[in-house]
């Protein structure tokens, strides 16, 4: 992985998944989280039936899904999990 800062904080579980991904998938994850960091509400809620869970979102592009929580107070994303179907 490169030494450039990530656009979000990663949970230990998300970090372990990320480290196992192929290089192109790691770059895809960085790009998806960069987009989500600019407008966290542009991706749909993880569970649309939960009105109190609007800050938990899932950003999906192709085979990659990142589930993140928007930390409004800190102004950043916290990635809960990453799923790669590849």
Q: Which CATH number fits the domain that encloses residue 63?
A: 3.30.2310.20
pLDDT digits (tens, 9 = 90+) for 10-27: 999 999 999 999 999 999
Instruction: Write the CB contacts of 66 (distance below 8 Å, at least 6 apart in sequence).
Output: 14, 29, 32, 33, 36, 58, 59, 60, 79, 81, 82, 83
Domain of 12 in residue numbering reads as: 8-84
Q: Is 16 part of any domain?
A: yes
Domains in the chain, number:
1
pLDDT at 4: 58
Q: Is 2 part of any domain?
A: no
pLDDT at 6: 61
Ranges of the chain with pLDDT below 50 = 1
Structure tokens at 31: 């790009």
């Amino acid at each position: 992985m490169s030494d450039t800062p990530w656009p979000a904080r990663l949970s230990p579980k998300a970090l372990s998944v990320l480290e196992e991904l192929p290089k192109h998938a790691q770059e895809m994850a960085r790009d998806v989280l960069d987009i989500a960091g600019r407008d966290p509400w542009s991706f749909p809620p993880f569970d649309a039936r939960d009105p109190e869970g609007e800050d938990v979102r899932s950003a999906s592009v192709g085979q990659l899904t990142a589930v993140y929580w928007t930390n409004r107070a800190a102004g950043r994303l916290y990635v809960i999990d990453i799923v790669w179907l590849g």
